Amino acid sequence: MRARLRAAATLVVATVALTGCGGAGDSSGGGSAGGAVTVFAAASLTESFTRLGRDFEAAHPGTSVVLNFAGSAALAAQINQGAPADVFASAATANMATVTEAGHADGDPAVLVRNQLVVAVPKGNPHAVAGLADLSRPGVKVALCAEQVPCGAAARTALDAAAVTLAPVTLERDVRGALSKLRLGEVDAALVYRTDALAAAAEVTAVEFAESARAVNDYPIVALRDAPNPDGARAFVAYVRSDRGRAVLTGAGFQAP
C-alpha cells in the first residue's frame, strides 16, 4: 500500500468523533508490525517519511503507514490533547519535550537527524541575495516561520547571531508554508531548511550563510506510550533509525546526529 497523508485537522476531528526500539546500526529495522501505524512528523520530513512509509509497508506486509505532517508545535499539542498517534518525529527537541514531559513518550526520544537553514530564493537569484543582511534591503519581501515552530525559532537564532533585523511580510505555521510563499512568487526569499530547498531545487536556489551553524535543529523521534499500535510504533522507529532509513534521510540532505 502507499503511505496515506491525512491533514492534522482531519485527525483531530476523528479523535473527537471516536472518543468522543531497534538500534541505529540495524540494517533491517527489525520488530513485528501489522495494521495501521500513525506517524505524526514535522513538515520538513514530508518527502523522506513518505518514502520511508512506503518502504516500511513493503518490508512489513499487512501494515499501512498513515502520515500526518504539520508544524512540530501543532503536532505536539494534538498529541497532548489526545489525538491517536503511534510515533512522533519532531523538528526540535523543545517540542518533543512538551510531549515527554506530559508523559506520552514510550521511553526516551532518540535524535534521528539534524538540519540547518538556508535562504531560499527564486532560480537565478534576481535580488542577488548572498546572506542574511541582504534580506533587510528595501523592497526585498521575506517569508519566515512563526517563532513558535522550529524553523522560526532557528531563524530567530540565526538572525540574532547576524545582528540582522527583518520585517517579514508573512509568518508561516511551518516551513512548507514559507517555501510555498516563495514558489508562488509572493515573496523574494524565505528562510527554510536545507532539505526543503533541496526538494524544491527545480524552482529555487539555496543560499548558504554562516550563521546557520548557530541554529542547527535536532530531530528527535519516539514511539508514544498510548500508541494504538505499539508493536507497529516500535517497528517503525527502528526502521527509520536503521542504516536503510538513515540512507534515505541523508540522501534528502539531513545530517547524521
Q: What is the pLDDT of residue 78?
A: 98
- Residue with the bigger pLDDT between 6 and 171: it is 171
* Calpha distance 193→185 (Å, rounded): 19
Q: What's the distance, CA 39 to chain centroid?
A: 12
Residue corresponding to grid cell 516563495: 182
Length reported for the chain: 257
Q: How confident is the model at residue 1 (pLDDT cuts 50, 70, 90)?
A: very low
CB-based contact 151:117 (threshold 8 Å): yes
Query: What top-level class would CATH report for the domain 4-114+218-251?
Result: alpha beta
All CATH 3.40.190.10 domain ranges in the chain, comma separated: 4-114+218-251, 117-214
CB distance 79 to 40 below 8 Å: yes
Res. 32 pLDDT band, cuts 50 70 90: low
| CATH no., domain 117-214 | 3.40.190.10
Given a cut of 70, whether residue 4 has pLDDT beyond it is no
**Per-residue pLDDT tens over the stretch 205-250:** 999 999 999 999 999 999 999 999 999 999 999 999 999 999 999 9
> 114 or 20: which carries more pLDDT confidence?
114
Span 44-63, mean pLDDT? 97
Residue 27 confidence (pLDDT) above 90? no
Does 153 have pLDDT greater than 80? yes
Reply yes or no on whether the pLDDT at 115 is more than 80.
yes
pLDDT band at 17 (very low <50, low <70, confident <90, very high): very low
Mean pLDDT of 84-94: 97
CB 196 within 8 A of CB 176: yes
Compute the mean pLDDT over every residue in the chain, rounded to the nearest whole number. 89
pLDDT at 10: 38
- Sequence-distant (6+) residues with CB within 8 A of 252 are 47, 48, 195, 198, 199
Q: Fill in the DSSP letter of residue 224.
A: B
Residue pair 191/144 in contact by the 8 Å Cβ criterion: yes
The per-residue DSSP string of 84-147 comes to --SEEE-SSHHHHHHHHHTT-BSS--EEEEEE-EEEEEETT-TT---SGGGGGSTT--EEEE-T
Percent of the chain with pLDDT over 70: 87
Residue linked to cell 542504516: 243
For residues 110 and 222, the answer to whether their CB atoms sit within 8 Å is yes
pLDDT band at 34 (very low <50, low <70, confident <90, very high): confident
Please report which confidence band the pLDDT of residue 26 belongs to, taking 50, 70 and 90 as the band edges: very low
- Give residue for cell 514558489: 183
Burial of 113 (0-12, 13-18, 19+ CB in 10 A): buried
At 46, give phi and psi (nearest 5°).
Answer: -55, -60
Residue 200 has pLDDT above 70, yes or no: yes
| pLDDT above 90 as % of the chain | 87
Joined together, the cell numbers standing for residue 131 give 546572506
What tens digit of pLDDT does each residue of 58-74 get? 999 999 999 999 999 99
What does the pLDDT look like over 117-150, one tens digit per residue?
999 999 999 999 999 999 999 999 999 999 999 9
Return the C-alpha cell found at 132: 542574511
